[in-house]
Amino acid sequence: MIKKLLPVAAVVGLALLLPNLAFAQEAAKAAGGGVGWGHLSAALVLAIGAAAGATAQGRTAVAACDGMARNPGAAGQIRGIAFLGLVLIESLVIYTLVIAFIINGK
């Protein structure tokens, strides 16, 4: 019975706590103080986006090299598809940069 009530109690506690935090943040901004979380969130967005993009690019390169080694006759097609994949992955990282600029500009 207690295991079933614990998640409910957590949700009710958060529902009661979060509006108070929101009002406290508005009061701090009105007073001229407060923490600028935009810079930190922009840095985290860029870090996560760059790390995920680098991981995806590495996996794409490994898969393309493996495919070319297994079937040298299809190397041209594999290379073209791999470059297209790399371009799309890099565009996602650039979108992340744009989002970081938007977050930082607020």
Q: How many of the other CB atoms lie within 10 Å of CB of 42? A: 20
State pTM to two decimals: 0.58
What pLDDT, in 10s, does the model give residues 6-42?
777 776 666 666 665 555 555 556 555 555 667 777 7
Q: Which residue has the higher pLDDT, 54 or 1?
A: 54
What pLDDT, in 10s, does the model give residues 55-106?
999 999 999 999 999 999 999 999 999 999 999 888 888 888 888 888 777 5
Q: Do residues 92 and 53 make contact, with C-beta atoms less than 8 angstroms apart?
A: yes
Look at residue 16 in the predicted model and tell me its pLDDT. 63
Residue type, 8: V
Look at residue 63 in the predicted model and tell me its pLDDT. 93
45's CB contacts (< 8 A; 6+ apart) are 96, 99, 100, 103
Look at residue 22 in the predicted model and tell me its pLDDT. 55
Burial class of 22 by CB neighbour count within 10 A (0 to 12, 13 to 18, 19+): exposed
